Structure 1
Amino acid sequence: MLNKESFILHSDWNDAVQLFLQDCKVRNFSRESIRRYRNGLEKLQQHLNALELQLRALTPAVFKNQVLPSLLNESLALRTLNCNFQIYKSFAQFLSKEGWIDEPFDADIKPFKLQPSSAHTFTDEHLFQLLALPDRTTFTGIRNYAMMLTLLDTGIRLRELAKLQVTDVLLDEGSLRVNHGKGRKSRLVPIERIAAGELKHYLLERGILEHNALWVNLDNQPFLPGGIRTMIARYCQSAKIDDIQCSCHTFRHTFAKKYLLNGGDVFTLKSIMGHAQIETTEMYVELFDSDLQAQHEKFSPIEHLAGALHLLSESEVKSK
Structure 2
Amino acid sequence: MQNQNHFSPNVDWNHAVQLFLQDCKSRNLAKETIRRYRNGLEKFHQHLAIQKLQWPALDSTLLTHHIIPSMLEEGLSLRTVNCNLCIYKEFFKFLYGEGLAASDIGMGLKPFKLQPSMAHTFTDEHLQHLFALPNRATFTGFRNYVIMLTLLDTGIRLKELANLQIPDVLMEEGSLRILQGKGRKSRLVPIQLFAINALKRYIQERGALGHNSLWVTLENEPFQTGGIRMMISRYCAAANIQGVQCSCHTFRHTFAKKYVMNGGDIFTLKSILGHERIETTEMYVELFARDLNIQHEKFSPIEHLAEELPFYRAEESEVQI
- SS for the counterpart of 1:15 is helix
Instruction: Supply the distance in 2 between the matched residues of 1:107 and 1:259 (Cα, whole angstroms).
Output: 36
CA deviations on 1:196-243 (whole Å, 9 max, x unpaired) are 111111111101111000000000110000000010011001100022
Deviation string 1:49-69 (CA, Å, 9 cap, x unpaired) is 222323221111121222222
1:157-205 residue CA offsets vs partner (Å, 9 max, x unmatched) = 0000000000000011000000145994410000001111111111111
Deviations 1:21-64 (A, max 9, x none): 11111112110000000000000001112223232211111212
Q: 2:9–2:56: 8 Å Cα contact kept in structure 1? A: no
Cα distance between partner residues in 1 of 2:292 and 2:181: 28
User: Does the Cα contact within 8 Å between 1:40 and 1:84 map onto a contact in 2?
Assistant: yes
SS state at 1:308 partner: coil
> Which residue of 2 is the match for residue 257 of structure 1?
257
Contact 2:82 2:111 in 1 (8 A): yes
The answer to whether structure 1 residue 195 and structure 2 residue 213 are counterparts is no
Any unmatched runs of 5+ in structure 1? none
Task: Tell me the equivalent position of 1:76.
Answer: 76
Partner of 2:310: 310
Q: Match for residue 67 of structure 2?
A: 67
Structure-2 separation of matches of 1:292 and 1:184: 35
CA contact 1:11–1:56 (8 Å) conserved in 2: no
Determine if contact 1:78/1:114 at 8 Å carries over to the other structure.
yes
Partner of 2:319: none
Deviates more, 1:7-16 or 1:196-205: 7-16
CA distance in 2, matches of 1:293, 1:197: 35
Let me know the Cα RMSD of the aligned residues: 2.1
Secondary structure at the aligned position of 1:111 is classed as coil
Partners of 1:11 and 1:230 in 2: CA distance: 46
The amino acid that maps onto 1:80 is: T
Matched, 1:214 2:210: no
> Size of the alignment, in residue pairs?
311
Residue 168 of structure 1 is matched in structure 2 by 168
Q: Give the Cα–Cα distance (whole angstroms) in 1 for the partners of residues 234 and 136 of structure 2.
A: 16
Q: Which amino acid aligns with 1:261?
A: M
Distance 2:268 2:182 in 1: 17
- Partner residue, 1:85: 85
Write the letter of the residue equivalent to 1:250.
Answer: T
TM-score using structure 1 length: 0.93
| 1:232-251 alignment, distance < 5 Å | 232-251=232-251
Aligned letter for 1:222? Answer: P
In the other structure, the counterpart of 2:119 is 119
Whether the 8 Å contact between 1:56 and 1:101 is mirrored in structure 2 is no
Q: CA deviation at 1:95?
A: 1.0
Deviates more, 1:296-305 or 1:122-131: 296-305
Q: For 1:190 and 1:305, how far apart are their aligned partners in 2?
A: 36
1:3-14 → structure 2 map (5 Å cutoff): 8-14=8-14
- Distance in 2 separating the partners of 1:85 and 1:183: 26
User: Closer, same or farther in 2 for the Cα pair 1:243/1:51, shift >3 Å?
Assistant: closer
State whether residues 270 and 278 of structure 1, in contact with CA within 8 Å, keep that contact through their aligned partners in structure 2.
Answer: yes
| Map of 1:289 onto structure 2 | 289
User: What amino acid is aligned across from residue 301 of structure 1 in structure 2?
Assistant: P
Runs of 4 or more consecutive aligned structure 1 residues displaced over 4 Å after TM superposition: none
| Letter paired with 1:235 | Y
Contact 1:11 1:55 in 2 (8 A): no
- Amino acid corresponding to residue 122 of structure 2 in structure 1: F
Moved more, 284-293 or 92-101: 92-101
Alpha-carbon shift at residue 88 of structure 1 (Å): 0.2
Structure 2: distance between partners of 1:60 and 1:8: 16
Counterpart-to-counterpart distance in 2, 1:276 and 1:109: 20
- TM-score using structure 2 length: 0.92
Q: Give the distance between the partners of 1:231 and 1:295, measured in 2 at CA.
A: 33
Separation (CA, whole Å) in 2 of partners of 1:203 and 1:63: 54
Q: Secondary structure at the match of 1:116?
A: coil
Q: Is the Cα–Cα contact under 8 Å of residues 17 and 41 in structure 1 kept in the other structure?
A: yes
Gap regions ≥5 residues in structure 2: 317-321
Which residue identity is paired with 2:293?
Answer: Q
CA contact (8 A) 1:182 1:274 kept: no
